[in-house]
Amino acid sequence: MSQNTIHADLSTAEWKLVEAIRVLPESSLRGRLLDVFQELIFYVQNPRCQGMGVEGFPCGEPKSSCEECHKVWDLLDRVSQRAKV
C-alpha cells in the first residue's frame, strides 16, 4: 500500500467503497479488482458504444440497441442483483 496520504471529502457511500478495498489483502485478485473498477469508471464517464450503427459509424450512444451495449448493461445488472443477495 502506498505511504502517500491523500485528504479528500467523501460521502458515506464513497468511504465504504474505499474501506472495502483497503481491507483486501495485497494479491493479484485485488489488483484485478482495481483494474476492473478503473475500467468501469472510465466506461461510466465515457458511455460510448464502440459498435457500428446502421450507417457504418460508431453509434456513440450508451443505451442503443447495439448488442455490445446490451452485454455491458446486462452484466452490470447481474452484478448489481448478485450484490443484493
According to DSSP, the residues that pair with 52 across neighbouring strands are 58
How far is the C-alpha of 76 from the C-alpha of 62, rounded, in Å?
13
**CB neighbourhood size of 49 (10 A):** 20
Enumerate residues 6+ apart whose C-beta is below 8 A from 42: none
What ranges do the domains of the chain cover? 8-46, 49-85
How far is the C-alpha of 8 from the C-alpha of 40, rounded, in Å?
21
Q: pLDDT 10s per residue in the chain (85 long)? A: 557 888 899 999 999 999 999 999 999 989 988 988 888 888 777 766 655 555 555 565 555 566 766 777 788 888 878 777 6
